[in-house]
Amino acid sequence: MTDVLIVGAGPTGLTLACDLARRSVAVRIVDKSPDFPRSSRAKGPNPRSLEVLEDLGVVDAVLAAGSAPLPMRKYRNGVPIADTDPYAESRPTPDTPYDRGWLIAQWRLEEILRARLAEYGVHVELGAEVTGLAERNASVTAAFADGSEIVARYAVGCDGGHSTVRKLLALPFEGKMTEEQMMVCGDVEVDGLDRGYWHQWFDEDGAVMLCPIPGTRSGWWFQAGPETDASGAPVPPSLESFRRLFARHAGLPATRLSNATLLSTYRVNVRMVDHYRVGRAFLAGDAAHVHAVAGGLGMNTGIQDAFNLGWKLALVVGGQAGPALLDTYEEERLPVASWTLDITSERLRATLEAIKAPGGGLDAAITPETAGLSRGYRWSSLSHDGTGGSSTGPLRAGDRAPDAPCRNTATGAPIRLFEAFAGPHFTLLGFGAGTAEALQEVAEKYGDTVRAYALDPADTDGLADDGGHARPAYGIAPGEDTLVLVRPDNHVGLITPAADGRAVVDYLDRLG
């Protein structure tokens, strides 16, 4: 019997598998596809997902394989009328090292995650189609089309919008599909187009968008409003239909397009489940929620689902926390899914309105909220502020824990808080000399489960906040002695005055 069975080997499933494997959880990950896909579908991780990928140890490979978002060149009647760079004024800051998302083909991101997973001795099992799921004797048995079975303590469906796991769990997928809002998509090769821009042709009667795929010489993401026949029905996507749309809206020779692959018709589908868990089975990613593409939150929300679930499963499987911890996955991620459906629908409306005017484009879909950095869990039962009260500072329990450049006082080497957080552990930060006793107690009691760091220690090893960035990032005034407990998914679990250091022990003990 394995500990966790993951069904679906896209970015969500691979993120979860990597997170579990590095925590020494026995995991198997299966996918019904006979081969690894070469789909470039999602355009890449947003800033919050880049932070997750850094924690998993793959962000350098992702950055090297992709590119920064490109300026958008907008056209009207085939003529370029505006170049827009949504990130022209954006810069990384000490607390936010990634100020923008990253363009990378989904198949390349999956390759990087599979390579990381292989370092832990885990490989994706292809051609494994789940046909049944039954819970018995404190385990889940998955049946497969070839007659085989896998028994696991827990199972997670990361198998996309048409999820077999969701259907086997009989979970309703409530929502709607908007037939009039659709587009055709695919990967194509294009000759003679400047790869330094994301080209967007918008006219009164349609649109074509072409974005170069990083890591390819002539590959492009193609999106367009659908071509219709004489009866008004959409024409199935094909190279020929792409060429006609391109010639019509771009006013350029149709023969510049070639080798169209991964053709699909996308309809705006806004749906979600009302439960993320049925017994020992969970859902994550598109299996639990689908929504408009505006804002690029689909793959990213799935990656963050996985990062929320991974540490909780690992602690329960390892006996370090009680099973009740798994209930907080739905408690925290279900409201985020609901918010995601709302914000993507709103951004789609804003984008459709923006492109009616010359100079409007897909930049209307980008807002600070779509970066994923503001989504926290202040409402969660795992979020505790102060001693029976609530923090009034800018940072609250449940929020994303900020980064900050520091110095290791023992070695003198620079170290960022994100480097201190990285890995399968809680992190306790002690701001001020008054936190020393609590830091020592936690270090002695919990060992490697919690790493304790003094900030600006007087006479002990710790982290020196030489640049003065850590205290402002955490909303802690000079002279205040404060403890901050950071969860393994890099969200703040607890903020409390040093005088109530016992609150940290109580928090950790409540987990089991």
Give the least confident one: 140-144, 263-267, 307-311. 263-267
What is each CA distance from 198 to 36, 101, 104, 213, in whole angstroms?
Answer: 27, 15, 14, 10
* Stretch 146-168: mean pLDDT: 97
DSSP state letters, 429-448: EEESGGGHHHHHHHHHHHGG
Name the pLDDT band for 390 (thresholds 50, 70, 90).
very low
User: In this structure, which topology does domain 384-510 adopt according to CATH?
Assistant: Glutaredoxin (3.40.30)
pLDDT higher than threshold 70 for residue 143: yes
What is each CA distance from 448 to 233, 281, 427, in whole angstroms?
Answer: 61, 29, 10
pLDDT number for residue 180: 56
In which residue ranges of the chain is CATH 3.40.30.20 found? 384-510
Nearest to 303 by CA among 73, 45, 32: 45
Q: How many CB atoms lie within 10 A of CB 443?
A: 15
* Stretch 478-491: mean pLDDT: 96
pLDDT number for residue 387: 54
In which residue ranges of the chain is CATH 3.30.70.2450 found? 178-268
* Stretch 264-289: mean pLDDT: 94
Element (H, E) at 99: none
Rounded percentage of the chain residues whose pLDDT exceeds 70 = 98
pLDDT number for residue 232: 78
The CATH code of the domain at 2-67+101-175+269-345 is 3.50.50.60
Does residue 320 sit in helix, strand or coil? coil
pLDDT number for residue 361: 87
Q: How many CB atoms lie within 10 A of CB 416?
A: 17
pLDDT higher than threshold 80 for residue 181: no
The CATH code of the domain at 178-268 is 3.30.70.2450
pLDDT higher than threshold 60 for residue 377: yes
Ordered alpha helix ranges (H), 158-275: 164-168, 239-250
Query: Average per-residue pLDDT in the chain?
Result: 93
pLDDT higher than threshold 90 for residue 321: yes
* Stretch 24-42: mean pLDDT: 91
* Stretch 1-18: mean pLDDT: 98
pLDDT number for residue 393: 62
Sequence-distant (6+) residues with CB within 8 A of 325 are 312, 315, 316, 511, 512
pLDDT number for residue 391: 44
Q: Supply the angle between the helices 436-446 and 502-510 in degrees, to the nearest 10.
A: 30
* Stretch 269-298: mean pLDDT: 93
In which residue ranges of the chain is CATH 3.50.50.60 found? 2-67+101-175+269-345
pTM: 0.95
Q: How far apart are CA 422 and CA 95, in angstroms?
A: 15
pLDDT, one tens digit per residue, over 228-237 is 888 878 888 9
Name the pLDDT band for 296 (thresholds 50, 70, 90).
confident
